Amino acid sequence: MKKRDLEKTLRDIGKERLTEVREVPDIIRRRQDEVYASLADLPMQTRSGRKSRFSRTFKVGVAAAAAIAVLTIGLGSAMVSPALAESLKNVPILGGIFKLAGDLGLQTAEEHGLAEETDASVTHDGITLRIPQVVYDGIRLTLAVKREGEGFTGGILDHKFVGEGRERDAIYPRGAVRDWEMLIDGQPTYNSKSYKFSSKGSPTADPNAALYELSAISETGDSSQILPDRFVLTAKFWLEGVEEPFVFELPVRKNTDRLVETFGETREWNGITLTLQQIQYTPITTKVVFDINVDDKASRPLRNNLLFDLCDDQGRNLELLGGVGIFYDNGQMHMRNEMLFDRLEEVPDTITLKPFQPEYADPSTKPGESGQYKVDSNGEVVRNYVKELEITVPVNRAGLEKLYGNQN
């Protein structure tokens, strides 16, 4: 079994976005296109049992479409403008970190009481780490993590690469998170036997606050057996300059309902068959489950170069949060995709899965090869939508309005 992982790690406050190398207004334009523009290596596994370790540290600015491993997209650290950083010093955000996220679902969780408030804190060597909020909707678990102390020279997620840019070559400032681990009822979410979870750390507008997220991977689309409705979470964080880990044990429970719609709609194009299996809605997350298979090996690079948007009937794209692809066979002919998007702003009549091929900056780059994506004048990845593979399905308006209405 192999997996392909797409991760969004950029967060914003209002319309002010974060970035390592660009000014804030540029990130506003990038939005979810930043998700498509950077990749990092994660585990490989086939049904024959071959495995390799992965790096939790993300690289920025390299794009590759070959789906021969789990691929995580995102930024491992971010910087805020001096003016914004200074203003944040006077903002009492403890217990309100989700409001700093450019994620409508997390903002909804905070505004409508779906986020559990905790007083969990651990102190080592003059540094206090707190988890003031936890939200879990049965699809994704998100922790708000706040760092307190003196003498920090960088943000909680800051680091830089030296040498060949590998994880072991990363340099972290004092107090930055250099590793983390999550356990469900004492069982690790990453071990040598199976890779059933996807995790990421994301910056917020506060350099001392971050979001840590966990979602489950399943071959059927139903992750409830892997990530149950109630469990005890053990979260461990290792900070630079501190030998002892910061360990938390938190009871977690699902606190939202879920609406599941099953379809089976199929489209074909150039030897590729796309079948939309399910769309799952919560007040926080939208999960899309689909199969994407190929007739022969020649079609694999074309399939592996496909990315996906999800939009409502007004043409508004939902923010991409992450995604996983699982190969059912070592020949990589049959693939199950699970993609996570933000919640809908409003309940539409229909929703559309829109596959597209991103253009590469170097026209000579072939599908499936690594390369930098081409962007337009607004800094957005140039998309070539594949109309033949688009699938539009009706939305259960009454069911979704009731689901959203319970929290709105």
Domain segments of the chain as ranges: 96-253, 259-406
Q: Per CATH, which fold does 96-253 belong to?
A: Immunoglobulin-like (2.60.40)
> One fold for both 96-253 and 259-406?
yes
- pLDDT value for 219: 65
Nearest CA to 330 out of 47, 43, 69 is that of 47
CA dist., res. 31 & res. 37, Å (int): 11
What averages of pLDDT result for each successive group of 10 residues across the chain (408 residues)? 39 33 32 38 32 30 27 32 45 62 88 92 97 95 96 94 74 95 90 67 92 83 80 97 97 94 97 96 96 92 93 95 82 90 96 95 81 87 95 97 80
The class level of CATH for 259-406 reads: mainly beta
- pLDDT value for 3: 43
Are 349 and 343 within 8 A, CB to CB? no
Integer CA distances (angstroms), 223 to 67, 218, 287, 330, 383, in order: 22, 5, 11, 23, 31
- pLDDT value for 33: 43
Report if pTM > 0.85.
Answer: no
Are 199 and 189 within 8 A, CB to CB? yes
- pLDDT value for 225: 73
The residues, ordered by sequence, that sit 6+ positions from 88 with a Cβ below 8 Å of its Cβ are 80, 205, 206, 207
